[in-house]
Amino acid sequence: MAPDDELRVVAEAWLADDPDQATRDELSRLIAGLPGTATELRDRFAGPLTFGTAGLRGRLRAGPNGMNLAVVTRAAGGLVTWLAGQGAEGPLVIGYDARHGSRAFAEQTARVATGAGREALIMPGTLPTPALAYAVRALDAVAGVMVTASHNPPQDNGYKVYLGRELGGPAGDGAQIVPPADAGIEAAIRAVGPIADIALGSPGTVIDDKTIEGYARSAAGVLAPDGPRDLAVAYTPMHGVGGSTLLAAFAAAGFPAPAVVAAQAEPDPEFPTVAFPNPEEPGAMDLLLELAVARGADLAIANDPDADRCAVAIPTPDGGWRALRGDELGALLGDHLIRRGVPGTYATTIVSSQLLGRLCAARGVPYAETLTGFKWIVRAAEELAYGYEEALGYCVAPSLVRDKDGITAALLVSELAAGLKTEGRTLADRLDELAAEFGVHATDQLSVRVDDLAEIGAAMSRARQAPPVALLGEPASVNDDTVNNVLTFRTASARAVIRPSGTEPKLKAYLEVVEPVGEGGLAAARTRATEGLLGLRGEVAAALGV
């Protein structure tokens, strides 16, 4: 059989099993367009979306290599089968954001769950990912599903799974899945037969608003009850679903209502005012900073579209604004919680700055370092006090949400800023204090996007075969973690951690230079650190051959 004929047979078999008329029509057009559409059609059937530790994520399109109702139905079927196989009791809680297809995917998941005899609880509308993670714990659910693609572009969607206490254990109660659960669910999905054979039940039960109101109240409880609240905040939910929840949490905490970027206040799956709905991307916070200037704000805060990340910008002495790096905010929040005496382990990842570890050592506080991802951070210790990763993710209240949470992080940084304001100081002043004590920890990323994933493997091989013997003029040691595919170069004053991205076709190198504050003062140390980062970037790029 000719390749195009084989492709037609495979596509028509999928078409016959697809329950969604819209994607059936899309696939029918591609089949009818053969052979001219062979490249596009072949990409749709290059392989199924893999259900990994981040669940599913991909483009909204027909076929097994896309996010669509057929793929979601099979994923839900595999999930409920796996849950039943574990002998686990309790309801499945399902949340969704405002992206294209999210509500339909959530409702279909509920029908698959009830069709299998399991209670399905649906969140009452489009809500942040941390609200779903909270609900898993608050409702003693066996598991949770969140339909979201977080800060991916508009054409994407995704499907994240959380486990309750029975299957996740104390440290994984309400946390994202980790191995071997991901492999077990993946195997169960692959074993699902025809979609027509999957029983669909009732649409489930919509949770009342009390659960979400409970989240907002509990989020406010993260703060010291009698602390200062005089703070002018500019805020954007970036066309996502965090706005109403953050405003409710700020009101419950006693803060003045933040000024909200009007053009980005309501959920919009097209994200029309940003090129890429990620606060880390250049230009994404421009409207927020314009509002901060116009309102004379003390602080500017952005959530990503599902509000599990938090970005912060602060005024500069020249009248401008600058966004804090994720590591800067991570150190500030960790330091603040330590100063408040919050007990437990403080954790971050191998690619984040070394500053938190040095801060914990100096304060006599337990510290842990994990692989990248909040699924690992929250399992660093059962008695976790705080965890963060450099990609703007912060878990400041693990007993409330065992995941990154952009709402509670926004509250905590506002508490810190308000307290400093009463002393005539700012977040920048606190960063200066930390730098004076521990040295300037300057961080940056070298990120290489590829079209062919083989390029990532080739670059890693080049660096392994000929690692640098020196970086920035200092002898370099090499640690090669082949199990997790992480390569680390380290000198007395610099570090580069290199790994493939787990969610995008990128190779990433996380760079850090540490400069003590000597006789030249803080400004000179920062200049040296910036120059060091520039040099380190070039040397690491050369080692990778990129």
pLDDT in tens, 295-352: 999 999 999 999 999 999 999 999 999 999 999 999 999 999 999 999 999 999 999 9
Per-residue model confidence (pLDDT) at position 448: 87
Chain-wide mean pLDDT for the chain?
Answer: 95
**Radius of gyration over every alpha carbon of the chain, rounded to an integer in angstroms:** 24
User: Is a pLDDT exceeding 80 seen at residue 504?
Assistant: no
Closest CA to 155 of 67, 259, 32: 67
How many other CB atoms are found less than 10 A from the CB of residue 305? 32
| Domains 50-207 and 213-435 equal at CATH topology level | yes
* Per-residue pLDDT tens digits for 198-235: 999 999 999 999 999 999 999 999 999 989 999 999 99
* Partners of 433 in the β-ladder: none
| Catalytic option among 102, 150, 352, 493 | 150
> Which whole-number Å values give the CA distances from 366 to 239, 374, 396, 474, 531, in the listed order?
38, 18, 15, 31, 33
Per-residue model confidence (pLDDT) at position 198: 97
* Per-residue pLDDT tens digits for 265-305: 999 999 999 999 999 999 999 999 999 999 999 999 999 99
The share of the chain scoring above pLDDT 70, in percent, equals: 99
pTM (whole model) above 0.75: yes
Architecture of domain 213-435: 3-Layer(aba) Sandwich (3.40)
Q: Is 150 a catalytic residue?
A: yes
Cis peptide before 48, with omega less than 30 degrees from 0?
Answer: no
Where are the domains positioned within the chain? 1-46, 50-207, 213-435, 439-544
Architecture of domain 439-544: 2-Layer Sandwich (3.30)
User: Is a pLDDT exceeding 80 seen at residue 257?
Assistant: yes
* Res. 518 pLDDT band, cuts 50 70 90: confident
* Res. 520 pLDDT band, cuts 50 70 90: confident
* Per-residue pLDDT tens digits for 2-35: 677 889 999 999 999 999 999 999 999 999 999 9
CATH fold of the domain at 50-207: Alpha-D-Glucose-1,6-Bisphosphate; Chain A, domain 3 (3.40.120)
- How many Cα atoms within 13 Å fall on the side-chain side of residue 354? 18
For residues 74-92, b (16+ Cβ closer than 10 Å) or e, as one string?
A: bbbbbbbbbbeeeeeebbb
* Partners of 218 in the β-ladder: none
Per-residue model confidence (pLDDT) at position 5: 82
Question: What gap in Å lies between CA 302 and CA 325, rounded to an integer?
Answer: 13
User: Is a pLDDT exceeding 90 seen at residue 537?
Assistant: yes
Per-residue model confidence (pLDDT) at position 449: 87
Residues 6+ apart with CB under 8 A from 290: none
Question: What gap in Å lies between CA 529 and CA 6, rounded to an integer?
Answer: 58
User: Is a pLDDT exceeding 70 seen at residue 53?
Assistant: no
User: Is a pLDDT exceeding 90 seen at residue 147?
Assistant: yes
